[in-house]
Amino acid sequence: EIVLTQSPGTLSLSPGERATLSCRASQSVSSSYLAWYQQKPGQAPRLLIYGASSRATGIPDRFSGSGSGTDFTLTISRLEPEDFAVYYCQQYGSSSWTFGQGTKVEIK
Amino acid sequence: QVQLQESGPGLVKPSQTLSLTCTVSGGSISSGSYYWSWIRQPAGKGLEWIGRIYTSGSTNYNPSLKSRVTISVDTSKNQFSLKLSSVTAADTAVYYCARAPGPSAFDIWGQGTMVTVSS
């Protein structure tokens, strides 16, 4: 089973700042099968990025994904107040899905 | 557009079987090439994929839960279901159903349903 490790655990930033979130896999992941989600309290996760770098429908272009192999990154270019949330990476492989443990982006 | 809605008991006794249903609206569960999954999240913790059923009816389960999980589909009702046997307090979580358009990302999620395991 591929393990995804996200860092940092918590990111304290101010609105307008840039956020860089990391997701590292225990073995190589196909870029086609790497996704990112945003989750706010009391809500279901929302798909942000799929295929490592493709934005899902309706996702603002301040969200971008990059990476390959075992290292992937989610970047939020300028944080808006509504972007403070928990972010998860996810991969598909060997007929199963796994998630990272999450990164919380909080207001500094 | 397609929407998912979970339903089932909010309280289950230890050692019993947890049963949940996900109703698909706005589209047919048997059209297209979709993976229909169950995912859970204990309070304050991360997401855990439980298992999935494909449009054809084939299933795959999380190895850590495989011995206790059954996912089935009822195309006549446009629903798919989860059964988790021999539950303990560790199975207390919000349970989500979700759709993946192929072996990739989950693009549609239900709102989630809280299930507590307690006597």
Task: Choose from A97, A98, A99, A104 for mutation: most chain B CBs within 10 A.
Answer: A97
Give the list of residues 6+ apart from residue B21 with CB closer than 8 angstroms, or none: B6, B7, B8, B79, B80, B81, B82
Between A and B, how many residue pairs show a Cβ–Cβ distance under 8 A? 58
Confidence at B6, pLDDT banded by 50, 70, 90: very high
pLDDT tens profile A4-31:
999 999 999 999 999 999 999 999 999 8
Q: For B63, which of A1, A33, A47 is closest by C-beta distance?
A: A1
> Measured over all CA atoms, what is the biggest interatomic distance in chain A, rounded to whole angstroms?
40
Nearest CA to CA, how far is A34 from chain B (Å)?
Answer: 7
Q: Do B104 and A92 touch (CB under 8 A)?
A: yes
pLDDT tens profile A26-51:
999 998 999 999 999 999 999 999 99
Q: Do B104 and A95 touch (CB under 8 A)?
A: no
pLDDT tens profile A53-93:
999 999 999 999 999 999 999 999 999 999 999 999 999 98
Sign of CA dihedral B27, B31, B96, A45: negative
What pLDDT does A93 receive? 85
Q: Do A50 and B105 touch (CB under 8 A)?
A: yes
- Answer whether residue A99 shows pLDDT above 90: yes
Q: By CA distance, what is A101's nearest residue in B? A: B46
CA–CA distance from A51 to each of A7, A68, A80, B10 (Å)? 20, 10, 24, 35
Q: Are B26 and B2 in contact (CB under 8 A)?
A: yes
Q: Per the structure block, which two tokens stand in for B14?
A: 């230890």
φ, ψ of residue B65 in degrees (nearest 5): -120, -5
What pLDDT does B104 receive? 87
pLDDT tens profile B101-119:
988 899 999 999 999 999 9
